[in-house]
Structure 1
Amino acid sequence: MMDELVFYDTMRQGLWSAVMISTPILVVALIAGLIIGLFQALTSVQEMTLTFVPKLAAIVAVFWVTMGFMTETLTSFFRGQLIPLIAGG
């Protein structure tokens, strides 16, 4: 049976890993949204694809650049935290 302290520590580390993985994508989406919104407000262009396509391109680019970091973060979490719990250590 898993101790309550171990359970909560594993959950905390898992949530922290999720925050670390999602932060670059969310920051870029926020910055792209602000820039596009400012551009739309200044030019009075209200086109729906103008908001969607550049944001999607920025998110895909950042995802592609940070894929190695995301993989390393998940791998270290699994190796350091979950696999020892599954193996009984």
Structure 2
Amino acid sequence: MTEAVFYDTLRQGLWVAFVISIPILSVALAAGLVVGLFQALTSIQEMTLTFVPKLGAIVAIFWVTMAFMSETLVNLFQGTLIPIIAGG
């Protein structure tokens, strides 16, 4: 394996990791902003109030985007990694 193939494969893997993480991170950010705004407006400083809604939002978006994530990873493996492994 040449350096060019190695770096190209690494770049593709990092790009797939970035694309897969965008939905979860954006929903976590939005949920954190909403809960933070709610806490600032009501002066409620409960630690579980920030954790539970954010965790629920992350689990829900993970469940919704699970097919997209799996398909993206399968495409990366079938299109890039398996031919490299099989080719030597």
TM beyond 0.5: yes
The answer to whether structure 1 residue 21 and structure 2 residue 14 are counterparts is no
Counterpart-to-counterpart distance in 2, 1:43 and 1:4: 56
* Cα displacement (A) at 1:20: 0.7
Provide the C-alpha distance between the structure 1 equivalents of 2:21 and 2:82, rounded to a whole number of angstroms: 23
Query: Number of paired residues?
Result: 88
Offset of 1:63 from its aligned partner? 0.1
Give the TM-score normalised by structure 2. Answer: 0.98
Counterpart position of 1:38? 37
Among all aligned residue pairs of Structure 1 and Structure 2, give the percentage whose two residues are the same amino acid: 75
CA RMSD of aligned residues (A): 0.8
| Unaligned ranges ≥5, structure 1 | none
Amino acid at match of 1:47: E
**TM-score by structure 1 length?**
0.97
What amino acid is aligned across from residue 32 of structure 1 in structure 2? Answer: A
